[in-house]
Amino acid sequence: MHRYILRRLFLLIPVMFGVSLVVFTIMFFTPGDPAKLMLGERAPEAEVAALRAQMGLDDPFPVQFGRFIYNAVRGDLGRSLVTRRPVFQELYARFPATLQLAAAGVLVAVVMGIPIGILSATRQYSAFDAASMGIALVGVSMPNFWQGMMMILLFSVTLGVFPSSGYGTIRHLVMPALTIGTSTAAIITRMTRSSMLEVVRQDYIRTARAKGLSESVVINRHALKNALIPIVTVIGLQFGYLLGGAVLTESIFSWPGVGRLMVDAIRQKDYPVVQGGVLLLALTFSVVNLGVDILYAYIDPRIKAQYK
Amino acid sequence: MAERLLEIENLRVEYHTDDGVVTAVDNLKLHLNKGQTLGLVGETGAGKTTTALSIMRLVPAPPGRIVSGTVRFRDEDLLKKRIDDIKKIRGNKISMIFQDPMTSLNPVLTIGFQIEEAVMLHQGLDRKAARRRAAEMLRLVGIPAEREGDYPHEFSGGMRQRVGIAMALSCNPELLIADEPTTALDVTIQAQVLELMKRLREQFSTSMLLITHDLGVVAEVCDHVAIMYAGTIVEYADVTTLFTNPRHPYTRGLFGSIPSLDEEVTRLKPITGLMPDPTALPSGCRFHPRCPMAGEICSSRIPQVTELDNDHSVHCMIYEGLVPGYEE
């Protein structure tokens, strides 16, 4: 198990190298001169050329990429072209907000999705099942930005219970977390339901019932743990997605996260920030997935046996 | 007369499927005396497993439904009991061994725990005592107690069935229902598992309902035999009578399809035709389309039970005197 984790961590190196190469290449061939961008459109040609030379922008691609990797390994992701602050610091300042929002969103989704999914599965075709599946369908279909705006309209403008923007307290967190958690909750509900329906038909559930166990023990102890693998997979993917994909929600609620930072950076052609941001999100996504894979081993001993 | 442990009468179980109502068990009657082993024999689809699940009230509903009948266990009708009371009987007074050991154990729980939880539930033992009991049961079925922390996938099929047996016997049940416990196993392992069940059944003085389609197993283990066809019992007798003097044409057909060591035969004599489609069962006697002895009346009248001597009963028009019988 430890060896497996070590090997997986080691595998992060080629993954991150690959991501770096792709991102760097795209940014390299994107039109627009960073030096000109920094000095402004009307800057004299000579000054721009001097800055280009100073920044090493005239070097061939492999040299520039090599320099980027060399620096990145030492934790130096360059400086923002706009704020002139180190990219690392920019990301470091924003990452906790993103992490907080993603974690809160997933928490909301898990707390709602798993119990509703279980109840739906154990009462298949009941009114509760039909209602929760209907609501789940609305939940996945509803666009984030629309839901966010509607919530602001209702809870901030009309009722005035939650602030429409800002960051720092639980009250600020409620609406953004519900907004990004809704679709994830819907996905988890549906996955839990179908996975449970699959599991409760298995022979070992009949064995558990034949022992005289109560229905709650049969469901929670015997069925749920077996149903958990696909559910955990979805949670992991959604968590990774929320870490990088909460851009719209962050924008609507002025949430100071990495997503918004990157959108701004793309708009301003602040390519070091874009590069750094993508690397950070790729890294967190990989780490979350590793966490999910490790979790599998704790859920299913057959998977653990494969992690040699 | 021996004490009755289980007595089933007029049991009817239906499955409501998209293709119509399937009557899996109909007008079923059988009994099992205390301390004895009853073999329930029939082809796949005859309703053997449904009968067993009815006793445990485990017929999956929907689509299944126990329509009518009584299942008397000791002096109580199990079909009339509340489900909470049934749960006190399941795994405790009546327990079950299932057909496929590869799928009937929970893959994410240790085998030790799967034995312990029944013991803790029914015998009120604490975790430690339950663990001792589980270890003792494992030893009895020939699995080292150290392996109680292992998971099902770490055992072979035969070992898993031993675990199933340990689990079923852990609360010392009065009735053990074994649903084709050796069908999924290799032939060499079958004999071992059968031998083990026989030994433990005697040791625990448990009565057993053994479901099988293997007449060899019946001869080996059972005291009485009930032959089942298309949802109902066609013949019931003690094992010697049944093997030496089978009466029902279906039972005779079953023996005809076993190769004999004494005779020079090049081909077996199978029963012609197939089991009827359960959504469209034949009228009258269910067996009449395949029966070599069938007369006209067989397609219109349901045969009644004829009690022959010595706890031997048969459902056939021949013995009601309505159709010419065999020339003995």
Looking at the partner chain, which of B103, B105, B121 has a beta carbon nearest the beta carbon of A213?
Answer: B121
A206 contacts in chain B (CB < 8 Å):
58, 98, 104
With beta carbons less than 8 A apart as the criterion, state whether B141 and B118 touch: no
Helix (H) or strand (E) holding B41: strand B37-41
Taking residue A56's Cβ as centre, other Cβ atoms within 10 Å add up to: 11
Looking at the partner chain, which of A204, A210, A212 has a beta carbon nearest the beta carbon of B106?
Answer: A204
A222 contacts in chain B (CB < 8 Å):
106, 109
Q: Distance (Å) from the C-alpha of residue A230 to the closest C-alpha of chain B?
A: 15
With beta carbons less than 8 A apart as the criterion, state whether B52 and B211 touch: yes
Indicate the length of chain B as a whole number. 328
Q: For chain A, give the mean pLDDT.
A: 90
pLDDT at A209: 93
Q: Is residue A243 predicted with pLDDT exceeding 60?
A: yes
Report residue B1 CA to chain centroid gap: 23
Residue B244 CB contacts under 8 Å (≥ 6 apart), including other chains:
none
pLDDT at B155: 93
A296: closest chain B residue by CA: B108
B154: closest chain A residue by CA: A302
Query: Each residue of B187-210: b (16+ CB within 10 Å) or e?
Result: eebbebbbebbeebbeeeebbbbb
B148 contacts in chain A (CB < 8 Å):
none
Joined together, the tokens standing for residue B90 give: 């399941």
Q: Alpha-carbon distance A83 to A90, whole Å?
A: 9
Contact A301 B88 (CB under 8 A): no
SS3 A257: coil
Q: Distance (Å) from the C-alpha of residue B237 to the closest C-alpha of chain A?
A: 29
Quick: pLDDT tens for B218-236.
988 899 999 999 889 999 9
Q: What is the DSSP string of B100-141?
A: -TTTSS-TTS-HHHHHHHHHHHHH---HHHHHHHHHHHHHHT
pLDDT at B19: 82
Q: Is residue B327 predicted with pLDDT exceeding 70?
A: no
A225 contacts in chain B (CB < 8 Å):
108-109
Residues of B engaging A, defined by a Cβ cutoff of 8 Å: 56, 58, 86-92, 95-96, 98, 100, 103-109, 117-118, 121-122, 151, 153-154, 164, 167
Q: Is residue B1 predicted with pLDDT exceeding 70?
A: no
pLDDT at A110: 95
Contact A211 B90 (CB under 8 A): yes
Q: Distance (Å) from the C-alpha of residue B322 to the closest C-alpha of chain A?
A: 44
Joined together, the tokens standing for residue A254 give: 């002025």
ipTM, two decimals: 0.87
| Residue from B106, B119, B175 to probe the interface with A (highest A Cβ count within 10 Å) | B106
With beta carbons less than 8 A apart as the criterion, state whether B212 and B39 touch: yes
Q: How confident is the model at residue B41 (pLDDT cuts 50, 70, 90)?
A: very high
pLDDT at B275: 82
Q: Distance (Å) from the C-alpha of residue A248 to the closest C-alpha of chain B?
A: 40
pLDDT at B272: 80
A125: closest chain B residue by CA: B62
More confident residue, A56 or B262: A56
Interval A33-62 mean pLDDT: 84
pLDDT at B328: 57
Looking at the partner chain, which of B95, B108, B121 has a beta carbon nearest the beta carbon of A210?
Answer: B95
Contact A225 B100 (CB under 8 A): no
Q: E strands within B136-280?
A: 175-179, 207-212, 224-229, 232-238
B97: closest chain A residue by CA: A207
Cβ–Cβ contact A305 with B under 8 A: yes
Interval A202-206 mean pLDDT: 93
Q: Alpha-carbon distance A298 to A84, whole Å?
A: 46
pLDDT above 70 covers a percentage of chain B that reads 97
B50 contacts in chain A (CB < 8 Å):
none
B173: closest chain A residue by CA: A211
Q: How confident is the model at residue B17 (pLDDT cuts 50, 70, 90)?
A: confident
B121 contacts in chain A (CB < 8 Å):
211-213
Quick: pLDDT tens for A89-107.
999 999 999 999 999 999 9
Q: Distance (Å) from the C-alpha of residue B113 to the closest C-alpha of chain A?
A: 11
B90 contacts in chain A (CB < 8 Å):
209-212
Q: What is the DSSP string of B244-276?
A: HS--SHHHHHHHHTSPPSSS--SS--PPSS-PP
Query: In chain A, which among 209-228 make CB contacts under 8 A with chain B?
Result: 209-214, 217, 221-222, 225-226
In terms of pTM, does the model score above 0.90? no
Q: What is the DSSP string of A125-171?
A: TSHHHHHHHHHHHHHHHS-HHHHHHHHIIIIIIIS--S-SS--SSHH
pLDDT at B108: 93
Q: Is residue B110 predicted with pLDDT exceeding 80?
A: yes
Interval A152-173 mean pLDDT: 90
Interval A261-271 mean pLDDT: 87
Rama region for B231: left / alpha / beta (φ>0; ψ in -120 to 50; rest): left
Quick: pLDDT tens for A278-290.
899 889 888 998 9
Which of B286, B216, B254 has the alpha carbon at shortest distance from B28?
B286
Highest mean pLDDT among A110-119, B169-178, B254-263: A110-119
Highest mean pLDDT among B86-90, B199-203, B255-259: B86-90
pLDDT above 90 covers a percentage of chain A that reads 50
Residue A121 CB contacts under 8 Å (≥ 6 apart), including other chains:
A129, A192, A193, A194, A196, A197, A200
Q: Is residue B293 predicted with pLDDT exceeding 90?
A: no
More confident residue, B146 or B324: B146
Angle at CA of residue B88, ends B87 and B90, nearest 5°: 60
Joined together, the tokens standing for residue A139 give: 């939940």
Contact B91 A213 (CB under 8 A): yes
**In this structure, what DSSP letter does residue A222 have?**
I
Q: Is residue B263 predicted with pLDDT exceeding 60?
A: yes
**Sheet strand arrangement including B4-17:** B20-33, B4-17, B64-73, B76-77
With beta carbons less than 8 A apart as the criterion, state whether A257 and A246 touch: yes
Q: Is residue A190 predicted with pLDDT exceeding 90?
A: yes
Q: Alpha-carbon distance A55 to A57, whole Å?
A: 5
Q: How confident is the model at residue A182 (pLDDT cuts 50, 70, 90)?
A: very high
Q: Is residue B16 predicted with pLDDT exceeding 80?
A: yes
Domains and CATH numbers, chain A: 2-87 (no CATH), 92-307 (1.10.3720.10)
pLDDT at A121: 93
Interval A19-30 mean pLDDT: 89
Indicate the length of chain A as a whole number. 308
Cβ–Cβ contact A195 with B under 8 A: no
Q: Terminus-to-terminus CA distance in chain A, angstroms?
A: 6
pLDDT at A245: 61
Interval B89-105 mean pLDDT: 91
Cβ–Cβ contact A204 with B under 8 A: yes
Joined together, the tokens standing for residue B83 give: 């489900």
B54: closest chain A residue by CA: A210
